[in-house]
Amino acid sequence: MASLQVSPTPVFTPLFIDGELKSSSTSSTFQVVNPYTNEVVGLCSSASSEDCRDAIEAASSAFHSWEISSLAKRRDIFLKAADIVSSDRYRTKIIDAMTAETAATQSFGVYNWGPAATILRTTAGLVNELRGETFPSISGGHVMVQRRATGVILGIAPWNAPFTLALRAVAIPLICGNTVVLKSSENSPRTHALVVELFQEAGLPKGVLNFISMSRESSPRLTAEMIAHPMVRKINFTGSDRVGRLLAAEAAKYLKPCILELGGKSPMVVLDDANLEDAARAIVYGAMAHSGQICMSTERVIVQRGISKALISAVITLCEPLKAGDPSKNLLSPLFSVGSAENVLDLIRDALDAGAELLLGDLSRKGSIVQPHLLYDVKPDMRIWEHETFGPVTLFSVFDTIDEAVDLANASDYTLAASLFTTNLHSAMEISPRIRSGYINVNGTTFHSEPLLTVFGLGGSSGYGRFDVEHFTDKRSIVFHPPQRQYSLLGNLKSKL
């Protein structure tokens, strides 16, 4: 079927528990299938309940020493990891694994590898935030507030940007002094395991980072068991809002906090005075990168009437040459499954039945391959407006007034990222804060985040919490009371001691 070259022998990915590579205690495995060639490209250990418990207990045991390790030691490990991941050896490892497991294009593989060193070095610098404060106590003594690690963190990473997002799932928790059990996606365990391999090569002590993978069938049960384990203190998850809700509900049974970075339906608002070429290029990049399989993809374009025809024409012109197919030959990859491809087309057909106009696209798929689609006159009451497509699709809606634009941008349960195009600084300063989104990029694509800030939703279907020091440490207060303190209940009474 395809010319994409993958290893003729499926690559085996074991578990990694307490510093050792291990097969499942039950010897169970599952297959990883390339979504383009449909070939088996990997065989992965499928963890048992015992394996999950062992990983959590290893992390709990390692926590006692890692929590009190010097900040300089943690920083140096991260800086060494940054140097290692910058090598051509890791570049090749990451791109090969991503291409095999997720049918990503080489350019998107480079995108996953390229920022890794910067992420690690930026995270290393966060040791400067791990400081406390002191101030006088109302008791007449002194108060010391410390930032202390939370404990064992369960990190659950997705398949779509597998190396970068697995790195994010573990990096800030680790630098803060937590220990981590990383649960991989069943679609990309080999790529996720490279994060663990990198940290071990950099000198991370055994047990501090553990790696668990499991089959799709066993995942719901085992994940629930891991969340319930008393040694797990917090869960971070990046993925769909559907799964995020299930995990949050499970964690709520035990009042365990979650960091959830979920879906997006990112709007780009384009005013009449915008630079048309810049806006068009940002739309196409934001909507079509990785075939739209990015939580910050530009799924909605809300454009002022005066520039709408010219902008739409420019976007169509840029999209027409983009073709999805063999990721070794095309700029756009297949989608990660046939089911995902059919869901994208179902949402488009539903919108057309409700009155939207198809500007580009053929309403067909070849396996999991879907070509770019553009829709016009899409309204908030349509299902495609409300649901993340996770495909190469963007929607156009026209507005007349600024208030109308803001209302349309905010007419969504997603709050992850947004964009505003205008050449008027006053308009940018006035309008951007009115868009309810964790990120508002002015004159830039929605698909952008800063290493120091990462991505964060403001609740709803985009989730809540942030990957930062604040969310992976606890503030603990120690109050030093003065000697011979008086207590009103006792008055002048004295003990006989």
**pLDDT for 312 beyond 60:** yes
Residue 257's SS3 state is coil
pLDDT tens-digit map of 107-132: 999 999 999 999 999 999 999 999 99
215, pLDDT greater than 70 = yes
First to last CA, the chain: 89
Return the pLDDT at 451.
75
Query: Per the structure block, which two tokens stand in for 331?
Result: 């700029």
pLDDT tens readout for residues 433-472: 999 999 999 999 999 988 777 778 899 999 999 999 999 9
Answer yes or no: are the C-beta atoms of 79 and 121 closer than 8 Å: yes
Q: How far apart are CA 273 and CA 283, in angstroms?
A: 16
Q: Where in the chain is the domain with CATH 3.40.605.10?
A: 11-262+463-477
Residue 2 predicted with pLDDT over 50 = no
**pLDDT tens track for 13-38:** 999 999 999 999 999 999 999 999 99
| 8 Å CB contact between 91 and 98 | no
Domain 266-442 has CATH 3.40.309.10: yes
Task: Determine the Cα–Cα distance for residues 296 and 185; give it in Å rounded to an integer.
Answer: 20
**Is domain 11-262+463-477 in CATH 3.40.605.10, yes or no?**
yes
Whether the per-residue pLDDT at 478 is higher than 80: the answer is yes
The confidence score (pLDDT) of residue 310 equals 98
**What average pLDDT score do residues 267-289 get?**
98
pTM of the model: 0.93
Query: In the predicted model, is pLDDT for residue 102 greater than 50?
Result: yes
Instruction: With cut-offs at 50, 70 and 90, classify the pLDDT of residue 1.
Output: very low
What is residue 457's predicted lDDT score, i.e. its pLDDT?
A: 87
Q: How many CA atoms lie within 13 A of 418 on its CB side?
A: 27
Confidence of residue 172 (pLDDT cuts 50, 70, 90): very high
Q: Residue 303: beta bridge partners? A: 270, 398
Active-site residue set: 261
Q: What is the mean pLDDT of residues 313-339?
A: 96
The DSSP element (H or E) to which 491 belongs, if any, is none
CB 48 within 8 A of CB 80: no
Residues of the chain within CATH 3.40.309.10 domain(s) are 266-442
Mean pLDDT (the chain, rounded): 95
* 265's tokens: 């339906």
